[in-house]
A and B are shown apart, each in its own frame.
Chain A
Amino acid sequence: MTAFLLRRAVHALTVVFVVCTVTFLLVHLAPGGPAVLADPKLTQEEQAAISERLGLDRPVTAQYAMWMARVARGDLGESFLYEVPTRRAIAERLPNTVLLAGAALTLSVLLAVPLGLISALRRGGVVDRIISGIAFLAMAVPTFWLAILAIFTFAVAFPVFPAGGATTAGAAGGLADRLSHLVMPAVVLAAVTTAELLRYMRSSAQTALHQPFVRVARAKGLRTRLVAWRHVLRNALLPMVTALGIQLPRLVGGAAITETVFAWPGLGRLGVQAALGRDYPLVMAITLFISAAVVVVNLLIDLLYLWIDPRIRLEA
């Protein structure tokens, strides 16, 4: 176990290092520069002062070395755009991201698992076709369009939910206020995730249906419902754990469009704004954070397998 963990830790560090190095080079090689320098009114003297203050007057290799040295000391630098430590910028947004991603993921799992199972059990039937049709539609519709449509339907035409934000600014708020703001972005964000998880679930349930133990259970004369819930579902859920692990980084970092349209103050939007504004320290801090999170989550999933499926061994 210790050897396994050590090996994985080395792998994890390598992955994070490579991701950060590549990102550093990409953001510095991308055309344009920090938005703070893109003011046509700046005089040459002012440009030089800003460049010097931000360390942009040095060669990229020197900037990279400085960045690495600072990260080794636990300092992720200051954001160019917001003039605050990047760690603070991320910490401010993280709770919102966890809330939105958590809600979307919970919703997705609650919908995808039973619907995928039903689809598999009724393969080719009307129910399966309807469920699969809706799933494909959800995958095909662009998120920003779905989001705007949701806002115009449920906030403008039938004002049921607020059009954006995470809380009602200036009001006391409370749990109900927070939840009512969460519904639309969570549903929109969950749409694609649900559809994908549903497809996974459907195919893994189908695989399970054809396993010998299912045949044995049926031959024993167990009722279909019991076979479905006790034997098919349990075995079909195993590959879903991996699928969830794949969805997680996307929900954390890739929710930028949903977050932008719903004015949700999350990490994805912060990352996109940092990239557009060429806020190098913030882009790097977010990259480091998300890549580390992905690596850790994957490691946890591998360990989780040991626990939920006794057939799996580390050495295997």
Chain B
Amino acid sequence: MSCAVRVLRGLCVAPLAVLVTLACTSESGPGLNALRIPLINDPILNPVLAPDIGSILINKIIFSALVRPDENLHPVPDLARSWSTSEDGLEYTFNLKPGVKWHDGEPFSANDVKFTFDQIKDVKSGSRLGSDFAAVAAVEVIDSLTVRFRLKAPFAPFLALLGYNAGIIPAHKFRDRKLLDATDFSRSAPVGTGPFRVIQAAAGSAIVLERNPAYHGDAPPLDQVIFRIVPDVNAQVAQLLAGELDIVPIEPANLPSVERASGAQVVRNPIVQHVYVGFNQQRSYFKSPLVRQALDLAVNRKAIIDGVLKGAADMPRGTIPLVLSGFYDASLPAPAYNPDSARTLLLKGGWRNGEHLMLRDASGKPFAFTLLVDKGNPTREQAALAVQQDLRRVGIDASIETLEFATLVRDRVLPGDFDAVLIWWTTPPDPDQFSFYSSGQDNNHVRYSNARVDSLLKAGRATLDSTRRRDLYHQFQREELADPPVLVLFYPRELLAVSRRVHGLPALGLRDALRHAERISVTR
């Protein structure tokens, strides 16, 4: 016995001694005043190539753009000091801020702007921004601080798009190589003009940025911004509660654990996004506007917003989100939930009552289809279930198919091989939805086609006068009531768990808020 006991005692005591020593020496965080934000994967540190949201977020801090959105989402100067537009709306001339330096000390000039947009326009460069700037015909350098964009047609969203993802990259770093070949740049040593510059990038661990002493705007109070790679959202929340992260985007399911914590609070900022069920209008069921009106009436959005999203969403009126207040028509009626009217409409449209009040067409075929939703996001999966139940109540049999997001998009949505899909659009802060809902456009996955909407959306993107533009989008929203392109479920609010030590975070979605990283501070 004595032998066993001695061995056991040794086993317990030795590691404990080590652990206690370690615990006493471990640091709780960096000594500087740093803001710590999670990413789920290693980012690509080049705004032209950035393929995912994580890369987009970090690039907003490293790379300034010509303009950036203010708290009302209006474009205000960033690298451009001012700009003017020609009478016909085909030319934008930007006067650049003088004395701006890249993170490596080289001077920033109009050549860099031209280089960036030449790369963006070149489909072979690996650019992910080509479709945003399809309207740009050419970029001309007038002098080192003046640059002129020539457009193919007047394009009202242009300024909003400039401030969205189009960070400017340095021409001198790509003199003899392609963007895609500059892996050191896009992985660990990017050079931008933003308020913070990368000093350390450890694959799979963290990207550490420090204050850019030569920043062209107000000096940031933060010493560092640290992006930590934490793939699991529950682990992110745990790290926030442990004081190791400061801002964490969360899901409604995480609300209770964050709200209980004393060191963090939840902010719910509206974002430019609409979540919807898109019905493939090449399928005969969904061709008739009457059917889509009925589907609109059949879904209880309030129950989804309160139950699934825990209130973190706004009631939708069409596809233009509430946050675009300058274009959103709040005078329209909120969508009604009325299964009886939905049923009446469907019966009027030629559907018949079958067994168990399930609808059938004239030939006796049931009104049944498959609703796709991406796998792994409990909020959207539950919303899909709620839609399925609501539709069953009016006699429509929707079966749910969950697929990984990549599979869903590439194999089903892009080729148009689906009946219905629960998905969303995150858009720049501009009401232009031409590519989503105009006939025959690449992003019009639901194959919606309405001649009046086509002309309104076409006019909307070509009209620079803001009053006239607002009227066009108000008309568009009215048209959507009669002929809904998609069934908009809600305008989500971004749920952010924010440590109480963080101050000055603009009341914008994180994507836009990080364009103002120099305003954020933390108490130690």
Chain B, interface residues (CB within 8 Å), range: 35 or more
Whether a CB of chain A sits under 8 angstroms from the CB of B23 is yes
**The residue from B41, B228, B239 contacting A81, defined by CB atoms under 8 A apart:** B41
24 pairs, A vs B, C-beta closer than 8 Å: A32-B406, A40-B413, A40-B443, A41-B131, A42-B414, A46-B128, A53-B124, A84-B187, A93-B204, A155-B238, A164-B244, A165-B205, A165-B206, A165-B244, A169-B30, A169-B202, A170-B208, A171-B29, A176-B22, A180-B23, A261-B234, A263-B235, A269-B204, A270-B204
Interfacial chain B residues near A68, Cβ < 8 Å = none
Among A9-17, A203-211, A273-281, A285-293, which stretch is in contact with chain B?
Answer: A273-281
Q: What's the minimum C-beta distance from B37 to chain A, rounded to whole angstroms? A: 11
Interfacial chain A residues near B30, Cβ < 8 Å = 168-171
Q: What's the minimum C-beta distance from A36 to chain B, rounded to whole angstroms? A: 6
A43 touches B442 (CB 8 A): yes
Interfacial chain A residues near B200, Cβ < 8 Å = 169-170
Whether a CB of chain B sits under 8 angstroms from the CB of A200 is no
Among A21-29, A111-119, A213-221, A242-250, which stretch is in contact with chain B?
Answer: A111-119
Docked Cα-Cα span, A262 to B200, in Å, equals 21
Instruction: Give chain A interface residues in 240-275, CB to chain B under 8 Å.
Output: 260-263, 265-266, 269-270, 273
Interfacial chain B residues near A31, Cβ < 8 Å = 403-404, 407, 411
Chain B 122-143 per-residue mask, 1 if CB under 8 angstroms from chain A, else 0? 0110101011000000000000
B238 touches A163 (CB 8 A): yes
Interfacial chain A residues near B411, Cβ < 8 Å = 31-33
A53 touches B235 (CB 8 A): no
Docked Cα-Cα span, A38 to B374, in Å, equals 12
Instruction: Give chain A interface residues in 150-204, CB to chain B under 8 Å.
Output: 151-152, 155-156, 159-171, 176-177, 179-180, 183
Q: What's the minimum C-beta distance from A206 to chain B, rounded to whole angstroms? A: 15
Instruction: Give chain B interface residues in 183-236, CB to chain A under 8 Å.
Output: 183, 186-187, 200, 202-206, 208, 224, 226, 228-232, 234-235
**The residue from B27, B51, B123, B403 contacting A168, defined by CB atoms under 8 A apart:** B27
B414 touches A164 (CB 8 A): no
Docked Cα-Cα span, A44 to B242, in Å, equals 45
Whether a CB of chain B sits under 8 angstroms from the CB of A35 is yes
A39 touches B51 (CB 8 A): yes
CB-CB nearest in chain B for A93: B204
User: 19 more A-B contacts (CB under 8 A) besides A40-B414, A160-B26?
Assistant: A32-B403, A37-B406, A38-B407, A40-B425, A43-B130, A81-B41, A83-B187, A84-B187, A89-B203, A114-B11, A118-B8, A151-B235, A160-B19, A170-B206, A224-B3, A260-B231, A263-B230, A265-B229, A273-B41
Docked Cα-Cα span, A314 to B403, in Å, equals 51
Interfacial chain B residues near A39, Cβ < 8 Å = 51, 128, 409
B224 touches A170 (CB 8 A): yes
B interface with A by C-beta (< 8 Å): 3-4, 7-8, 11, 15, 19, 21-23, 25-32, 34, 36, 41-42, 44, 49, 51-52, 123-124, 126, 128, 130-131, 180, 183, 186-187, 200, 202-206, 208, 224, 226, 228-232, 234-235, 238-239, 241-244, 403-411, 413-414, 423, 425, 442-443, 445
Q: What's the minimum C-beta distance from A48 to chain B, rounded to whole angstroms? A: 8
Interfacial chain A residues near B25, Cβ < 8 Å = 176-177, 180
Interfacial chain B residues near A93, Cβ < 8 Å = 203-204
Whether a CB of chain B sits under 8 angstroms from the CB of A313 is no
B238 touches A156 (CB 8 A): yes
A interface with B by C-beta (< 8 Å): 31-47, 49-50, 53, 81-85, 88-89, 92-93, 96, 107, 110-111, 114-115, 118, 121-122, 127, 148, 151-152, 155-156, 159-171, 176-177, 179-180, 183, 224-225, 228, 260-263, 265-266, 269-270, 273, 276-278
A96 touches B22 (CB 8 A): no
Q: What's the minimum C-beta distance from B432 to chain A, rounded to whole angstroms? A: 13
Interfacial chain B residues near A176, Cβ < 8 Å = 21-22, 25-26
B22 touches A180 (CB 8 A): yes
**The residue from B32, B42, B202, B414 contacting A82, defined by CB atoms under 8 A apart:** B42
Interfacial chain B residues near A171, Cβ < 8 Å = 27, 29-31
A265 touches B26 (CB 8 A): no
CB-CB nearest in chain B for A82: B42
Q: What's the minimum C-beta distance from A276 to chain B, rounded to whole angstroms? A: 7
Q: What's the minimum C-beta distance from A47 to chain B, rounded to whole angstroms? A: 7
Docked Cα-Cα span, A270 to B210, in Å, equals 27
B28 touches A83 (CB 8 A): no
Interfacial chain A residues near B238, Cβ < 8 Å = 148, 151-152, 155-156, 163-164
B239 touches A164 (CB 8 A): yes
Docked Cα-Cα span, A62 to B298, in Å, equals 50
Docked Cα-Cα span, A23 to B299, in Å, equals 44
**The residue from B27, B180, B224, B410 contacting A33, defined by CB atoms under 8 A apart:** B410
Sort A-B residue pairs by CB-CB distance and give the 8 closest, nearest first: A265-B204, A32-B407, A169-B206, A180-B26, A38-B406, A170-B30, A92-B203, A176-B25
Given A92-B203, A148-B234, A177-B26, do A83 and B183 touch, yes or no (CB 8 Å)?
yes
A155 touches B242 (CB 8 A): yes
Q: What's the minimum C-beta distance from B332 to chain A, rounded to whole angstroms? A: 27
